[in-house]
Amino acid sequence: MLCVSSQSSFVDPVNITVILDSDTIVASQDFSVGDGHKYSKFKIDLVNGRHHITASTSNGDAGLDVVFWVEKPTWLALNYWGKDHFELMISPVPFAII
């Protein structure tokens, strides 16, 4: 599962695109900060091995480019925090805040 959220009121809404292993998962979608813990969930199936995720904003001046490895079912949380700041969290279990 990929969970995406905006945690910034500086650019609200922020327009985010996410590409995982050459597949567009989130296509230029607006995310509002809301109460700060509002996540949109996107179903993904990650096989064991190497994966590549990129995230970009059309209006928030931030980008992310990360390679990671999976050995078991995995949850990803992508947070936009403002200019030049995405955060990617990776977990083998669902996140408590989502």
What does each of the 98 residues of the chain score in pLDDT, given as a tens digit?
999 999 999 899 999 999 999 999 999 999 999 877 789 999 998 999 999 999 999 999 999 999 999 998 899 999 999 988 999 999 999 888 76
Question: Residue 44's CB: how many other CB atoms inside 10 A?
Answer: 17
96: in domain: no
pLDDT of residue 46: 92
Task: Residue 82: give the domain boundaries.
Answer: 2-91
Number of domains in the chain: 1
The domain spanning residue 39 has which CATH number? 2.60.40
pLDDT of residue 98: 65
